[in-house]
Amino acid sequence: MALTAAFAVVIPEPAEARRGGYTRIIRQPADGSPLTIVVSLKEQRLQVFDSAGLVAQSPISSGRPGYSTPTGVFTILQKNREHYSNLYGDAPMPNMQRITWSGVALHAGALPGYPASHGCIRLPYGFSRSLFSMTQLGTRVVVNNNMVEPEPFRHPMLFAALPPGEADIPPPVRPVEGQADSSAAAGLGNVSAMLGVTPAAAAEAAMRVAARPMGSGPDVGNAKVPQQRTRIMATAERQAAIDESAAAIKGMEAVHAEAADHIAEVNGRLNAARQDLKGARLALPQLKRAADHAKREIEKAERRLKDFIQQQTREMSRMEAREEQRMKEHLADAGSDLASEVLLKRADERSAAHALDAQQRDEAALTESRLEGAYLDAIHDLELAQRFVSEQDGIIERRETRVQEVAQELIGVRKAYATARNALDAAIADHKRAIAALKQFAKPATVFVSRRTGKLVIRQGYEEVYAAPVKITFPTSRIGTHVFTATRFADRSETILDWQAMTLTSVSPELPQRAHRNGSDAAEAEELAPAPSAGNALERIEMSDETKMRIVELMKPGSAFIISDEGASPETGLYTDIIVQPRS
């Protein structure tokens, strides 16, 4: 009864209808069919599709100036019937369905008839309850400026699935104590057992599969498939891949440890040489400051000596003038008729003045000698300070040479270490992907190809399970953003899949590029690049047979194939599927 009410038709109020849309639940989604939610920001409208077409639609209110809603390909990451904003004053966000961890979600809210949110996608309250009941974690949400609808799509480059097959491995065995530890991947015994395969049985089955001759089976996704290969066999291969990658890690760890010890020893010597050089360099500024101080002391001593000499030159002139005046007075007194007492007194005064001048001359000579000594001492101090600076420069040069020698020695060691580290990191990444591939094997897969990175990535259950390079023809020409969704098996064979496709970018061809001056064939070829349509995007991707086989074994209803010019959004991370935000 409650489920029926959740999918009842929602009749809009007249005022709401006049505000540019209506809310309608057309039917219940088909059982087992993946849903796709499409949001048009331009039309302020949301539509829900399943494998049979439109399921529901509603007006929305999303974004406003300064708070735009991001466009792109998302999935529902979190669902809460009752939720409150941690950014906007605990504002209620009923029936919240998060599509980014940075804060964008679908939720119930006021719809004034125009964009009025902080970036979230507001829904009518009744419709938000119905939509909440329809969706599950992982439901894909496409936010675009224009409304796009998933259309049935067939193309020879789209992948089929492996047949389920019959168990070609021993029956499931209940895990026993210590069994998981005996696996090369600790803790993976339980994962294998949950899938009906123990590690030992899986490895044995994988060896039997590998030993079989290749058949001339059908082309699946443009890749030759061994006639006997099934999903059960692929599961066994994934366990074998875990064991192989775990063994590879052990070997790489030993090589890495040896390289790490060697680099630590050389680094120790390099650090010691650098510390010696650092100490020498730190001492140099102090020595240079001492030399600069000695220069200033010379300037001061020289200035004092010159000032004193100039002062004494002027004083000697005054002394000579006074002596000449005293001589004139003496001659005048010799012919004077003044009393002898007066003449004697005047003579005594002249003698005293002469003696004072003589004393000043003696004192000036001593002062000049002292100033000259200070000047010569300052010159000596400068020469000594400059010699210390020169010697320190030599010490620094020798220590720099030592550092360079050890650093040169370290280059080869670092290359060996980097090679070992990269090999170990690659082995660890392969092992993690192998574990994730087995753990998430039964879940739908998202395959993402980026023209920007030239890389294909597969995620299942929010984990990366495979990555490989791909080649894209016309690599500098736009390929567009396209989402292909496997909606259901076409028949009981459970191999052929029905697909829907959406193109988020215009399919009009780009303007021809200006030819290079040298008229290169590459430039001319780029001008012939096809329009970025869904079919052409598939045809421009070239991948290895191994990559095709890995994709084929993971295909099932709910899987998706996304192609874009851009790389994965920075929003892609822990507990997210591939998020793509193409440029508008």
DSSP 66-132: TBPPPPEEEE--EEESS-B-TTTTT-B-TTEEES-TTS-EEEE----SS--SSSSEEE-HHHHHHHH
- The proportion of the chain whose per-residue pLDDT surpasses 70, expressed as a percent, equals 81
Least confident of 152-161, 503-512, 551-560: 503-512
Give the pLDDT of residue 417. 92
pLDDT, residue 73, reads: 95
Global pTM?
0.63
Question: CA Rg, the chain, in Å?
Answer: 45
Among 198-207, 365-374, 439-448, 526-535, the range with the most confident prediction by mean pLDDT is: 439-448
- The β-bridge relationship of strands 121-123 and 105-108 is parallel
pLDDT in tens, 95-113: 999 999 988 999 999 999 8
- pLDDT (0 to 100) of residue 583: 75
Query: Mean pLDDT across the stretch 48-53?
Result: 94
Look at the block and give the residue holding tokens 């309250």: 125
Asked if 485 contacts 38 with a C-beta cutoff of 8 angstroms, the reply is no
Tokens of 413: 């060691």
> For position 219, what pLDDT does the model report?
52
Mean pLDDT, rounded, for 166-170: 50
Chain region(s) in the chain for CATH 2.40.440.10: 2-145
CATH 1.10.287 domain range(s) in the chain:
275-435
> Residue 339 has what pLDDT?
81
Predicted local confidence at residue 354, as pLDDT: 85
CA distance 66 to 493: 52
Task: Decide if pLDDT at 505 tops 90.
Answer: no
275-435 — its CATH code? 1.10.287
Helix (H, G, I), strand (E, B) or coil at 186: coil
Annotation: CATH topology of 2-145: L,D-transpeptidase catalytic domain-like (2.40.440)
Contact at 8 Å (CB) between 315 and 359? no
Nearest Cα neighbor of 399 from 488, 530, 278, 499 is: 278
Determine the pLDDT at residue 49: 96
What mean pLDDT do residues 359-387 have?
88
What value, to the nearest 5°, has the Cα angle with vertex 278 and ends 274 and 282? Answer: 175
Exposed/middle/buried for 80, CB within 10 Å: 0-12, 13-18, 19+? middle
Interval 340-365: pLDDT, tens: 888 888 888 888 888 888 888 888 88
> From the centroid of its chain, how far is CA 196?
40
Alpha-helical regions (H) of 171-230: 179-182, 188-194, 199-211
What pLDDT band is residue 467 in, cutting at 50, 70 and 90?
Answer: very high
The confidence score (pLDDT) of residue 178 equals 35
What was the pLDDT predicted at 103?
87
pLDDT surpasses 80 at 193: no
Rounded CA separation 29/138 (Å): 16
The per-residue pLDDT for range 257-312, each reduced to its tens digit, is 999 999 999 999 999 999 999 999 999 899 889 889 989 988 888 898 888 888 88
